[in-house]
Amino acid sequence: MTFKMLLGSVYVKLTQKYKHGLTAAWYRDVIRPKILNSKPFTETKSNICEIHVLTSQNDYLNLIWALKSFYYYSKCNYALCIHSDGSLSESEVELLKFHFPNARVILKKESDEIMAKELADHPKALNFRQSNHLAPKVFDFKHFLQSDKMMLIDSDVLFFSCPKELILRIESPDYHKNTANKDALYGYTIQIEEVKNQLSFDVIPFFNSGLGLIHKESINFDWIEDFLSLPNILGYFWRIEQTLFALCSSKFGVELLPPEYDVRLEKGIKGLASRHYVGRIRHLMYAEGIRQLERQKFLEAIS
Protein backbone atom coordinates (compact mmCIF):
# COMPACT_ATOMS: atom_id res chain seq x y z
CA MET A 1 0.00 0.00 0.00
CA THR A 2 1.40 3.39 -0.98
CA PHE A 3 1.54 6.28 1.48
CA LYS A 4 -1.19 8.06 -0.50
CA MET A 5 -3.46 5.03 -0.28
CA LEU A 6 -2.76 4.73 3.45
CA LEU A 7 -3.68 8.37 3.99
CA GLY A 8 -6.86 7.83 1.99
CA SER A 9 -7.80 4.80 4.10
CA VAL A 10 -7.20 6.70 7.36
CA TYR A 11 -9.26 9.63 6.07
CA VAL A 12 -12.19 7.37 5.20
CA LYS A 13 -12.12 5.70 8.63
CA LEU A 14 -11.95 9.03 10.46
CA THR A 15 -14.76 10.44 8.34
CA GLN A 16 -16.96 7.46 9.14
CA LYS A 17 -16.07 7.53 12.84
CA TYR A 18 -16.82 11.22 13.33
CA LYS A 19 -19.48 11.82 10.65
CA HIS A 20 -22.05 12.67 13.33
CA GLY A 21 -19.69 14.70 15.47
CA LEU A 22 -17.40 14.25 18.45
CA THR A 23 -20.24 13.96 20.96
CA ALA A 24 -21.83 10.98 19.23
CA ALA A 25 -18.42 9.31 18.85
CA TRP A 26 -17.58 9.89 22.54
CA TYR A 27 -20.78 8.39 23.87
CA ARG A 28 -20.70 5.52 21.35
CA ASP A 29 -17.05 4.52 21.76
CA VAL A 30 -16.16 5.59 25.32
CA ILE A 31 -19.32 5.70 27.44
CA ARG A 32 -21.37 2.94 25.79
CA PRO A 33 -18.96 0.07 26.65
CA LYS A 34 -19.13 1.03 30.35
CA ILE A 35 -22.46 -0.80 30.54
CA LEU A 36 -20.35 -3.97 30.67
CA ASN A 37 -19.13 -2.93 34.14
CA SER A 38 -22.67 -2.89 35.54
CA LYS A 39 -24.18 -5.58 37.73
CA PRO A 40 -26.18 -8.47 36.25
CA PHE A 41 -29.97 -8.25 36.25
CA THR A 42 -30.99 -11.49 37.90
CA GLU A 43 -34.71 -11.04 38.62
CA THR A 44 -36.06 -11.77 35.14
CA LYS A 45 -38.54 -14.45 36.12
CA SER A 46 -42.09 -13.11 35.85
CA ASN A 47 -44.33 -15.00 33.43
CA ILE A 48 -46.85 -12.14 33.21
CA CYS A 49 -44.99 -11.31 30.03
CA GLU A 50 -41.81 -12.47 28.34
CA ILE A 51 -39.47 -10.11 26.50
CA HIS A 52 -38.11 -11.45 23.22
CA VAL A 53 -35.21 -9.79 21.42
CA LEU A 54 -33.14 -10.60 18.35
CA THR A 55 -29.54 -9.42 18.42
CA SER A 56 -26.28 -9.48 16.51
CA GLN A 57 -22.60 -8.78 16.91
CA ASN A 58 -23.20 -5.18 15.88
CA ASP A 59 -26.15 -4.62 18.21
CA TYR A 60 -25.65 -6.62 21.39
CA LEU A 61 -24.03 -3.73 23.29
CA ASN A 62 -26.97 -1.46 22.46
CA LEU A 63 -29.29 -4.28 23.48
CA ILE A 64 -27.79 -4.39 26.97
CA TRP A 65 -28.50 -0.64 27.30
CA ALA A 66 -32.05 -1.17 26.03
CA LEU A 67 -32.84 -4.02 28.41
CA LYS A 68 -31.17 -2.62 31.49
CA SER A 69 -32.75 0.80 31.06
CA PHE A 70 -36.15 -0.92 30.74
CA TYR A 71 -35.70 -3.16 33.77
CA TYR A 72 -34.30 -0.35 35.92
CA TYR A 73 -36.94 2.28 35.20
CA SER A 74 -39.97 0.02 34.86
CA LYS A 75 -39.18 -2.02 37.99
CA CYS A 76 -40.63 -5.00 36.11
CA ASN A 77 -39.02 -8.42 36.16
CA TYR A 78 -40.44 -9.98 33.02
CA ALA A 79 -38.80 -13.15 31.77
CA LEU A 80 -36.29 -12.68 28.96
CA CYS A 81 -35.42 -14.65 25.85
CA ILE A 82 -32.51 -13.50 23.66
CA HIS A 83 -32.24 -14.82 20.10
CA SER A 84 -28.89 -14.72 18.29
CA ASP A 85 -28.87 -14.05 14.55
CA GLY A 86 -25.78 -16.26 14.24
CA SER A 87 -23.16 -13.51 14.23
CA LEU A 88 -22.46 -13.46 17.99
CA SER A 89 -19.14 -14.88 19.11
CA GLU A 90 -18.94 -17.28 22.06
CA SER A 91 -17.56 -14.50 24.26
CA GLU A 92 -20.44 -12.19 23.32
CA VAL A 93 -22.98 -14.90 24.13
CA GLU A 94 -21.27 -15.36 27.49
CA LEU A 95 -21.46 -11.62 28.15
CA LEU A 96 -25.21 -11.68 27.57
CA LYS A 97 -25.57 -14.68 29.87
CA PHE A 98 -23.53 -12.89 32.53
CA HIS A 99 -25.62 -9.73 32.44
CA PHE A 100 -28.94 -11.62 32.28
CA PRO A 101 -28.22 -14.95 34.00
CA ASN A 102 -31.86 -16.08 34.09
CA ALA A 103 -32.50 -15.33 30.44
CA ARG A 104 -32.79 -18.02 27.81
CA VAL A 105 -30.31 -17.50 24.96
CA ILE A 106 -31.39 -19.20 21.72
CA LEU A 107 -28.56 -19.83 19.28
CA LYS A 108 -29.25 -19.75 15.56
CA LYS A 109 -28.05 -23.30 14.88
CA GLU A 110 -30.46 -24.61 17.50
CA SER A 111 -33.40 -22.54 16.29
CA ASP A 112 -32.78 -23.34 12.61
CA GLU A 113 -33.23 -27.06 13.27
CA ILE A 114 -36.31 -26.59 15.43
CA MET A 115 -38.03 -24.10 13.14
CA ALA A 116 -37.43 -26.21 10.02
CA LYS A 117 -39.63 -28.86 11.63
CA GLU A 118 -42.09 -26.35 13.06
CA LEU A 119 -42.70 -24.72 9.67
CA ALA A 120 -42.58 -27.90 7.56
CA ASP A 121 -46.27 -27.53 6.69
CA HIS A 122 -45.89 -23.82 5.88
CA PRO A 123 -43.52 -23.72 2.89
CA LYS A 124 -43.81 -19.98 2.19
CA ALA A 125 -43.14 -19.18 5.83
CA LEU A 126 -40.19 -21.58 5.95
CA ASN A 127 -38.66 -20.11 2.81
CA PHE A 128 -39.09 -16.59 4.18
CA ARG A 129 -37.49 -17.54 7.49
CA GLN A 130 -34.53 -19.11 5.70
CA SER A 131 -33.95 -16.07 3.49
CA ASN A 132 -34.55 -13.12 5.83
CA HIS A 133 -32.50 -12.61 8.98
CA LEU A 134 -35.29 -10.60 10.67
CA ALA A 135 -37.86 -13.36 10.17
CA PRO A 136 -37.09 -15.04 13.53
CA LYS A 137 -38.78 -12.03 15.16
CA VAL A 138 -42.03 -13.44 13.84
CA PHE A 139 -41.59 -17.22 13.91
CA ASP A 140 -38.98 -17.99 16.57
CA PHE A 141 -40.36 -15.46 19.03
CA LYS A 142 -43.76 -17.15 18.88
CA HIS A 143 -42.40 -20.70 19.02
CA PHE A 144 -40.14 -20.13 22.03
CA LEU A 145 -42.56 -17.86 23.90
CA GLN A 146 -43.40 -19.23 27.36
CA SER A 147 -46.04 -16.66 28.26
CA ASP A 148 -49.38 -15.60 26.77
CA LYS A 149 -47.90 -12.12 26.27
CA MET A 150 -44.71 -11.02 24.58
CA MET A 151 -42.98 -7.66 24.81
CA LEU A 152 -40.97 -6.51 21.80
CA ILE A 153 -37.93 -4.32 22.43
CA ASP A 154 -35.48 -3.60 19.63
CA SER A 155 -31.88 -2.96 20.57
CA ASP A 156 -32.19 0.70 19.55
CA VAL A 157 -34.81 1.58 22.19
CA LEU A 158 -33.80 3.40 25.38
CA PHE A 159 -35.87 4.14 28.50
CA PHE A 160 -35.53 7.27 30.64
CA SER A 161 -38.40 6.62 33.06
CA CYS A 162 -41.14 4.04 33.51
CA PRO A 163 -43.22 3.50 30.32
CA LYS A 164 -46.43 3.53 32.37
CA GLU A 165 -49.02 3.14 29.62
CA LEU A 166 -47.18 0.25 28.00
CA ILE A 167 -46.84 -1.52 31.38
CA LEU A 168 -50.51 -0.86 32.14
CA ARG A 169 -51.56 -2.53 28.88
CA ILE A 170 -49.22 -5.47 29.44
CA GLU A 171 -50.37 -6.17 32.98
CA SER A 172 -54.10 -5.54 32.59
CA PRO A 173 -56.02 -8.85 32.45
CA ASP A 174 -58.73 -7.04 30.47
CA TYR A 175 -56.49 -5.76 27.69
CA HIS A 176 -56.74 -8.11 24.72
CA LYS A 177 -55.17 -6.16 21.87
CA ASN A 178 -51.69 -5.95 20.45
CA THR A 179 -50.13 -2.52 20.79
CA ALA A 180 -46.96 -0.91 19.42
CA ASN A 181 -45.24 2.40 18.83
CA LYS A 182 -46.27 4.40 15.77
CA ASP A 183 -43.76 4.63 12.96
CA ALA A 184 -42.52 7.97 11.64
CA LEU A 185 -42.91 6.88 8.02
CA TYR A 186 -44.88 4.23 6.16
CA GLY A 187 -42.94 1.02 6.79
CA TYR A 188 -44.78 -1.89 5.12
CA THR A 189 -43.89 -3.88 2.04
CA ILE A 190 -47.51 -3.79 0.85
CA GLN A 191 -49.71 -0.87 -0.10
CA ILE A 192 -52.83 -1.20 2.03
CA GLU A 193 -55.19 0.04 -0.67
CA GLU A 194 -53.83 -2.46 -3.17
CA VAL A 195 -54.52 -5.51 -0.97
CA LYS A 196 -57.65 -4.28 0.82
CA ASN A 197 -59.99 -6.41 -1.27
CA GLN A 198 -57.95 -9.54 -0.47
CA LEU A 199 -58.30 -9.16 3.29
CA SER A 200 -61.29 -9.50 5.60
CA PHE A 201 -60.07 -6.80 7.99
CA ASP A 202 -58.65 -3.28 7.98
CA VAL A 203 -54.87 -2.95 8.29
CA ILE A 204 -53.58 -0.49 10.86
CA PRO A 205 -51.12 1.99 9.29
CA PHE A 206 -47.73 2.93 10.79
CA PHE A 207 -47.35 -0.10 13.11
CA ASN A 208 -43.69 -0.30 14.20
CA SER A 209 -42.46 -3.60 15.62
CA GLY A 210 -39.61 -2.09 17.67
CA LEU A 211 -41.57 -1.66 20.90
CA GLY A 212 -44.87 -3.12 21.97
CA LEU A 213 -47.05 -5.91 23.29
CA ILE A 214 -47.94 -8.97 21.23
CA HIS A 215 -50.38 -11.65 22.38
CA LYS A 216 -49.16 -15.14 21.62
CA GLU A 217 -52.37 -16.25 19.92
CA SER A 218 -52.15 -13.35 17.45
CA ILE A 219 -49.11 -14.82 15.69
CA ASN A 220 -50.85 -17.50 13.66
CA PHE A 221 -48.64 -19.38 11.19
CA ASP A 222 -51.64 -20.29 9.01
CA TRP A 223 -52.50 -16.60 8.67
CA ILE A 224 -48.90 -15.77 7.84
CA GLU A 225 -48.75 -18.46 5.16
CA ASP A 226 -51.72 -16.76 3.51
CA PHE A 227 -50.28 -13.26 3.96
CA LEU A 228 -47.09 -14.33 2.18
CA SER A 229 -49.17 -14.79 -0.97
CA LEU A 230 -50.09 -11.09 -1.08
CA PRO A 231 -48.59 -9.25 -4.08
CA ASN A 232 -45.17 -7.67 -3.48
CA ILE A 233 -45.11 -8.56 0.22
CA LEU A 234 -41.53 -9.81 -0.16
CA GLY A 235 -40.47 -6.61 -1.88
CA TYR A 236 -38.49 -4.72 0.78
CA PHE A 237 -36.14 -6.86 2.87
CA TRP A 238 -36.15 -4.75 6.06
CA ARG A 239 -39.90 -4.25 6.27
CA ILE A 240 -41.35 -7.74 5.81
CA GLU A 241 -41.40 -8.89 9.44
CA GLN A 242 -42.95 -5.57 10.50
CA THR A 243 -45.59 -5.96 7.80
CA LEU A 244 -46.42 -9.45 9.06
CA PHE A 245 -46.70 -8.21 12.65
CA ALA A 246 -49.03 -5.45 11.45
CA LEU A 247 -51.19 -7.89 9.48
CA CYS A 248 -51.46 -10.42 12.30
CA SER A 249 -52.16 -7.68 14.82
CA SER A 250 -54.80 -6.06 12.61
CA LYS A 251 -56.64 -9.36 12.18
CA PHE A 252 -56.37 -10.10 15.92
CA GLY A 253 -57.09 -6.62 17.30
CA VAL A 254 -54.66 -3.74 17.65
CA GLU A 255 -54.13 -0.12 18.61
CA LEU A 256 -51.07 2.11 18.70
CA LEU A 257 -49.43 3.33 21.87
CA PRO A 258 -50.03 6.99 22.84
CA PRO A 259 -48.19 9.71 20.86
CA GLU A 260 -45.35 10.02 23.40
CA TYR A 261 -44.17 6.57 22.22
CA ASP A 262 -44.14 7.55 18.53
CA VAL A 263 -40.99 7.07 16.47
CA ARG A 264 -39.61 10.56 15.77
CA LEU A 265 -36.80 11.61 13.46
CA GLU A 266 -36.04 14.98 15.05
CA LYS A 267 -33.95 15.62 18.17
CA GLY A 268 -35.48 15.88 21.62
CA ILE A 269 -36.55 13.60 24.46
CA LYS A 270 -38.14 16.05 26.91
CA GLY A 271 -41.02 14.35 28.69
CA LEU A 272 -40.49 10.99 26.99
CA ALA A 273 -40.28 7.74 28.94
CA SER A 274 -38.60 6.00 26.02
CA ARG A 275 -37.33 6.63 22.53
CA HIS A 276 -36.84 4.33 19.56
CA TYR A 277 -33.67 5.36 17.72
CA VAL A 278 -34.32 3.86 14.29
CA GLY A 279 -31.53 3.54 11.73
CA ARG A 280 -31.45 7.04 10.30
CA ILE A 281 -31.16 8.59 13.78
CA ARG A 282 -29.02 5.88 15.39
CA HIS A 283 -26.33 8.47 16.15
CA LEU A 284 -28.82 10.22 18.46
CA MET A 285 -28.99 7.06 20.55
CA TYR A 286 -25.45 7.95 21.63
CA ALA A 287 -25.32 11.76 21.43
CA GLU A 288 -28.76 12.20 23.02
CA GLY A 289 -30.00 8.97 24.62
CA ILE A 290 -26.93 7.54 26.35
CA ARG A 291 -25.84 11.08 27.14
CA GLN A 292 -29.15 11.67 28.93
CA LEU A 293 -28.88 8.41 30.84
CA GLU A 294 -25.39 9.37 31.97
CA ARG A 295 -26.77 12.69 33.23
CA GLN A 296 -29.43 10.72 35.13
CA LYS A 297 -26.58 8.71 36.70
CA PHE A 298 -28.07 5.52 35.28
CA LEU A 299 -24.73 3.71 35.09
CA GLU A 300 -23.97 4.52 38.71
CA ALA A 301 -27.39 3.29 39.77
CA ILE A 302 -26.97 -0.15 38.15
CA SER A 303 -23.31 -0.70 39.09
**Choice among 17-26, 49-58, 266-275 with the minimum mean pLDDT:** 17-26
**The CATH number of the domain covering residues in 3-301:** 3.90.550.10
Mean pLDDT score across all residues of the chain: 93
- Which pairing describes strands 207-215 and 149-153: parallel, antiparallel, or unpaired? antiparallel
Average pLDDT over residues 1-29: 66
What is the pLDDT at residue 279?
87
What is the pLDDT at residue 5?
47
Query: Among residues 185, 216, 171, which one has the least CA distance to residue 77?
Result: 171
Average pLDDT over residues 235-246: 90
- Backbone torsion region of residue 83, taken as left when φ is above 0, otherwise alpha when ψ lies between -120 and 50, otherwise beta: beta
Of the pLDDT bands very low, low, confident and very high (cuts 50, 70, 90), residue 235 is confident
Average pLDDT over residues 65-78: 98
Helix axes 60-74, 90-99, angle to 10 degrees: 10
Do residues 171 and 48 touch, judged by C-beta distance below 8 A? yes
List CB contacts of 22: < 8 A, sequence separation 6 or more. Answer: none
